[in-house]
């Protein structure tokens, strides 16, 4: 059996305290637990080594023997008894440190004998340790028009049917957490959480910037010159706007409170900004051209 450095496996120094050993073990055991790494042979073997290291280093007597005899710590009593018969008179047990490769016992299998018998069921010594389940991550697509109002949504994640309330004003890329909807816990531990990232597709004629909306509205030349009324579509319905005479191209108008709702701020909205685009008429008749020429001469 190759030498396994238990201290290195747990990522601790040789003078580590019992509390440091316990903390390192719990962190690594959870990270590499086979139930969290299904069909990962490498993770399972590492998990076994982590448990073996903890079994030895968390026991003061076993740790003492391991520090002196390395992988053959289980044969320490036998080694010392054998050595006592060959030791010169006056020599004391432990006078010469044990050297790897210079011992009277043969190698074992892939893991220590005590470990092979102990982990018939992925480590009986860990049945009492509770591990939190994995967190799940999912994306959910919505149209911008859907996020204007608070509403219910149903979807399926990992075989679970989930119904959630989507607050009005949620933004593209925003993430929400559903506690307890992740992977199941191990050994009675709590379930993980589900994180949902929203992908918002703009299916409207508006551009959203924060909680404000922007829209380009075409305005015919005659109405821009003479004035009148224009019906504007907003996400909350139609609004009639008065167009002042001689409205210039690119004129911007603010409609207060007609923008997007603030996330989890009931009844509070951003603003809607309208920019008028004056349309130049095309395909003029001869009479229309003549009238424009007369107007040009008047100017």
Ordered per-residue pLDDT tens for the chain, 299 residues? 456 788 998 999 989 999 999 999 888 888 888 777 777 788 888 888 888 889 889 989 888 888 887 766 776 666 555 544 444 444 444 443 333 333 333 343 344 444 444 444 444 445 567 788 888 888 889 999 999 999 999 988 777 888 999 999 999 999 999 999 888 888 888 999 999 999 999 999 999 999 999 999 999 999 999 999 999 999 999 999 999 999 999 999 999 999 999 999 989 999 999 999 999 999 999 999 999 999 899 87
Q: Give start and end residues of each alpha helix (H) in the chain.
A: 6-10, 18-32, 41-57, 60-69, 76-86, 113-118, 221-226, 286-298
Domain 136-201 = CATH 3.30.750.24: no
Residue ranges of the domains in the chain?
Answer: 6-126, 136-201, 207-298
Model pLDDT, residue 275: 97
Q: How far apart are CA 103 and CA 82, in angstroms?
A: 11
Sign of CA dihedral 252, 256, 260, 262: positive
Domain 207-298 in the same topology as domain 136-201: yes
**DSSP, res 146:** G
Per DSSP (E only), the strands in 64-186 are 136-143, 151-157, 160-166, 175-178
Model pLDDT, residue 115: 42
Which top CATH class is 207-298? mainly beta
**Architecture of the domain delimited by 6-126:** Orthogonal Bundle (1.10)
Model pLDDT, residue 76: 64
pTM of the model: 0.55
Q: From 252, 255, 244, 145, select the one nearest 200 (Cα to Cα).
A: 145
């Amino acid at each position: 059996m190759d030498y396994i450095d238990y201290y290195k496996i747990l990522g601790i120094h040789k003078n580590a305290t019992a509390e440091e050993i316990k903390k390192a073990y719990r962190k690594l055991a959870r990270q590499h637990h086979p139930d969290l790494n299904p069909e990962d042979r490498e993770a399972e073997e590492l998990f076994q080594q982590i448990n073996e290291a903890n079994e030895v280093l968390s026991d003061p007597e076993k740790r003492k023997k391991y520090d002196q005899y390395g992988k053959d710590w289980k044969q320490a009593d036998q080694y010392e008894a054998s050595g006592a018969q060959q030791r010169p008179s006056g020599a004391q047990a432990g006078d010469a440190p044990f050297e790897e490769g210079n011992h009277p016992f043969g190698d074992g299998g892939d893991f220590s004998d005590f470990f092979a018998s102990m982990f018939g069921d992925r480590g009986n010594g860990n049945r009492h340790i509770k591990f939190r389940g994995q967190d799940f991550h999912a994306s959910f697509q919505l149209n911008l028009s859907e996020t204007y109002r608070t509403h219910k949504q149903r979807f399926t994640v990992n075989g679970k049917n989930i119904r959630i309330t989507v607050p009005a004003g949620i933004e593209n890329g925003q993430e929400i957490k559903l506690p307890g909807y992740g992977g199941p816990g191990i050994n009675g531990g709590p379930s993980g959480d589900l994180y949902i990232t929203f992908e918002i597709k703009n299916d409207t004629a508006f551009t959203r910037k924060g909680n404000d909306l922007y829209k380009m509205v075409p305005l015919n030349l005659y109405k821009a010159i003479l004035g009148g009324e224009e019906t504007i579509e907003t996400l909350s319905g139609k609004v009639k706007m008065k167009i002042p005479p001689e409205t210039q191209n690119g004129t911007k108008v603010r409609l207060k409170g007609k923008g997007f709702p603030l996330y989890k701020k009931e009844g509070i909205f951003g603003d809607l900004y309208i920019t008028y685009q004056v349309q130049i008429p095309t395909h003029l008749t001869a009479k229309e051209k003549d009238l424009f020429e007369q107007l040009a001469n008047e100017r």
